[in-house]
Structure 1
Amino acid sequence: MILRDSRSYRCLVAIFMFTTLAVQGQMANKVGPVIKNGEAQVVEAFSDPGTWIRHDLWVETEFDSDGDGKPDRMHVDVTRPGQTDTQGLKLPIIYESSPYYAGTAGLDKGIFWDVKHELGEPGKPRKHPDVTRVGERPIISNSQVRTWVPRGYIVVHSSSPGTGLSDGAPTVGGDNESLAPKAVIDWLNGRAKAYSERNGNEEVKAFWSTGKVGMTGTSYNGTIPLAAATTGVEGLEAIIPIAPNTSYYHYYRSNGLVRSPGGYLGEDIDVLYDFIHSGDESKRARNNKVVRDTEMKNGQDRITGDYNDFWAGRDYLNDMKPMKAALLMSHGFNDWNVMPEHSYRIYKKAKEMGIPAQIYYHQNGHGGPPPISMMNKWFTRYLHGVENGVENEPRAWIVRENEQKDNPTPYEDYPNPKAKEVTLYLNQGAPSKGQLSSVKPKKQGTETLIDNYNFPGADLAKEDVSENRLLYVTPPLKADVHISGVPTINIRLASSKPAANLSVWLVSLPWTEALDSKITDNIITRGWADPQNHESLSKSAPLVPNKFYELEFELMPDDQIIPEGQQIGLMIFSSDKEFTLWPEPGTELTVDLDGTTLTLPVVGGKIKL
Structure 2
Amino acid sequence: MDSRIRRTTLIDLASSRKGLSLHFLLVPIAIVASVCLPGGLHAEESEAAAVPVFKDGEAQVVPAFEDPDRWIRHDLWVETEFDSDKDGKLDRVHVAVTRPQETEIDGLKLPVVYVTSPYFAGTAGNDLEYFWDPKHELGETPPEHKKGPRFERKGLRPIIAKTHLKEWVPRGYIVVHSSSPGTGLSQGCPTVGGSNESLAPKAVIDWLNGRAKGFTAPDGGEPVLAYWTTGKVGMTGTSYNGTLPLAAATTGVEGLEAIIPIAPNTSYYHYYRSNGLVRHPGGYLGEDIDVLYDFIHSGNPEFWEACNCDVRDEEMGPGMDRETGDYNDFWAGRDYLNQLEKLRAPVLMAHGFNDWNVVPEHSYRITAALKKKGNVPVQIYYHQGGHGGPPPMKMMNRWFTRYLHGIENKVEEDAKAWIVREADEKGEPTAYPDYPHPDAQPVELKLQGNAPEQGALTLGSVSPSSPATEMLVDNVSFDGKTLAKAESTNHRLIYVTPKLAEPVHLSGVARISVRVASSKPAANLSVWLVSLPWNDDPQAKITDNIITRGWADPQNQESMRSSQPLQPGQFYDVSFDLQPDDQIIPAGQQIGLLIMSSDREFTLWPKPGTELTFDLRATKLMLPVVGGEAAIKFESAAATE
TM > 0.5: yes
1:330 to 350, 373, 390: 350
The residue that corresponds to 2:409 in the other structure is 388
Secondary structure of the corresponding residue to residue 185 of structure 1: helix
Report the CA distance between 1:517 and its aligned residue.
3.9
The residue that corresponds to 1:113 in the other structure is 132
Q: Does 1:465 align with 2:494?
A: no
Matched to 1:378, the amino acid is W
The residue that corresponds to 2:518 in the other structure is 495
Asked whether the equivalents of residues 490 and 597 of structure 1 are also in contact (C-alpha less than 8 Å), the reply is: yes
The residue that corresponds to 2:597 in the other structure is 574
Map 1:365-376 onto structure 2 (within 5 A).
Answer: 365-376=386-397
The residue that corresponds to 1:141 in the other structure is 161
Q: Does 1:560 align with 2:583?
A: yes
Deviations 1:373-397 (A, max 9, x none): 0000000000011110110011000
Report the CA distance between 1:124 and its aligned residue.
2.3
Matched to 2:533, the amino acid is P
- Name the CA distance, whole Å, in 2 between partners of 1:186 and 1:89: 20
Deviations 1:453-487 (A, max 9, x none): 00010010011111100000000001100000000
Map 1:460-539 onto structure 2 (within 5 A).
Answer: 460-514=483-537, 517-539=540-562
Matched to 1:197, the amino acid is A
Asked whether the equivalents of residues 115 and 123 of structure 1 are also in contact (C-alpha less than 8 Å), the reply is: no
Q: TM-score, normalised by structure 1?
A: 0.95
Q: Does 1:422 align with 2:447?
A: no
Report the CA distance between 1:514 and its aligned residue.
0.4
Q: Does 1:66 align with 2:85?
A: yes
The residue that corresponds to 1:272 in the other structure is 292
Deviations 1:306-365 (A, max 9, x none): 000000000000000000000000000000000000000111111122210100000000
The residue that corresponds to 1:440 in the other structure is 461
Matched to 1:32, the amino acid is V
Matched to 1:413, the amino acid is D
The RMSD of aligned alpha carbons is 1.3
The residue that corresponds to 1:228 in the other structure is 248
- Name the CA distance, whole Å, in 1 between partners of 2:131 and 2:506: 36
Matched to 1:360, the amino acid is Y
- Name the CA distance, whole Å, in 2 between partners of 1:438 and 1:227: 43
Matched to 2:567, the amino acid is V
Asked whether the equivalents of residues 46 and 105 of structure 2 are also in contact (C-alpha less than 8 Å), the reply is: no
Q: TM-score, normalised by structure 2?
A: 0.90
- Name the CA distance, whole Å, in 2 between partners of 1:27 and 1:133: 40
Secondary structure of the corresponding residue to residue 149 of structure 1: helix
Matched to 1:596, the amino acid is T
The residue that corresponds to 1:82 in the other structure is 101
Map 1:237-256 onto structure 2 (within 5 A).
Answer: 237-256=257-276
Secondary structure of the corresponding residue to residue 324 of structure 1: coil
The residue that corresponds to 2:359 in the other structure is 339
- Name the CA distance, whole Å, in 1 between partners of 2:138 and 2:151: 31
Asked whether the equivalents of residues 402 and 517 of structure 1 are also in contact (C-alpha less than 8 Å), the reply is: no
Report the CA distance between 1:530 and its aligned residue.
0.2
- Name the CA distance, whole Å, in 2 between partners of 1:572 and 1:591: 10
The residue that corresponds to 2:23 in the other structure is none
Deviations 1:187-244 (A, max 9, x none): 0000000001111230010000100000000000000000000000000000000000
1:193 to 188, 213, 228: 213
Q: Does 1:123 align with 2:142?
A: yes
- Name the CA distance, whole Å, in 1 between partners of 2:538 and 2:216: 56
- Name the CA distance, whole Å, in 2 between partners of 1:572 and 1:132: 45
- Name the CA distance, whole Å, in 1 between partners of 2:618 and 2:224: 66
Report the CA distance between 1:441 and its aligned residue.
1.2
Provide structure 2 residue ranges, at least 5 long, that are not aligned to the other structure.
1-41, 635-641
- Name the CA distance, whole Å, in 1 between partners of 2:539 and 2:560: 40
Asked whether the equivalents of residues 479 and 608 of structure 1 are also in contact (C-alpha less than 8 Å), the reply is: yes
Report % sequence identity: 67
Matched to 2:273, the amino acid is R
Report the CA distance between 1:104 and its aligned residue.
0.6
The residue that corresponds to 2:304 in the other structure is 284
Report the CA distance between 1:123 and its aligned residue.
2.4
The residue that corresponds to 2:622 in the other structure is 599
Asked whether the equivalents of residues 259 and 579 of structure 1 are also in contact (C-alpha less than 8 Å), the reply is: yes
Report the CA distance between 1:541 and its aligned residue.
0.6
Asked whether the equivalents of residues 219 and 242 of structure 1 are also in contact (C-alpha less than 8 Å), the reply is: yes
Report the CA distance between 1:26 and its aligned residue.
7.3
Matched to 2:357, the amino acid is N
Report the CA distance between 1:122 and its aligned residue.
2.6
1:358 to 379, 388, 400: 379
- Name the CA distance, whole Å, in 1 between partners of 2:96 and 2:238: 19
Deviations 1:165-190 (A, max 9, x none): 00000000000000000000000000
- Name the CA distance, whole Å, in 2 between partners of 1:430 and 1:132: 55
Provide structure 1 residue ranges, at least 5 long, that are not aligned to the other structure.
1-22
Secondary structure of the corresponding residue to residue 146 of structure 2: coil
Deviations 1:259-280 (A, max 9, x none): 0000000000000000000001
Secondary structure of the corresponding residue to residue 447 of structure 1: strand
Secondary structure of the corresponding residue to residue 237 of structure 2: strand
Corresponding pairs, count: 587
Asked whether the equivalents of residues 116 and 123 of structure 1 are also in contact (C-alpha less than 8 Å), the reply is: no
Report the CA distance between 1:516 and its aligned residue.
6.9
- Name the CA distance, whole Å, in 2 between partners of 1:578 and 1:487: 21
Secondary structure of the corresponding residue to residue 223 of structure 1: helix
The residue that corresponds to 1:15 in the other structure is none
Q: Does 1:176 align with 2:199?
A: no
Secondary structure of the corresponding residue to residue 179 of structure 1: helix
Asked whether the equivalents of residues 77 and 216 of structure 2 are also in contact (C-alpha less than 8 Å), the reply is: yes
Matched to 2:423, the amino acid is N
Secondary structure of the corresponding residue to residue 29 of structure 1: coil
Asked whether the equivalents of residues 449 and 456 of structure 2 are also in contact (C-alpha less than 8 Å), the reply is: yes
Report the CA distance between 1:131 and its aligned residue.
2.3
Asked whether the equivalents of residues 112 and 232 of structure 2 are also in contact (C-alpha less than 8 Å), the reply is: yes
The residue that corresponds to 1:150 in the other structure is 170
Secondary structure of the corresponding residue to residue 223 of structure 2: coil
Runs of at least 4 residues of structure 1 off by over 4 A? 25-28
The residue that corresponds to 2:56 in the other structure is 37
Matched to 2:92, the amino acid is R
Q: Point out the more displaced range, 75-84 or 119-128.
A: 119-128
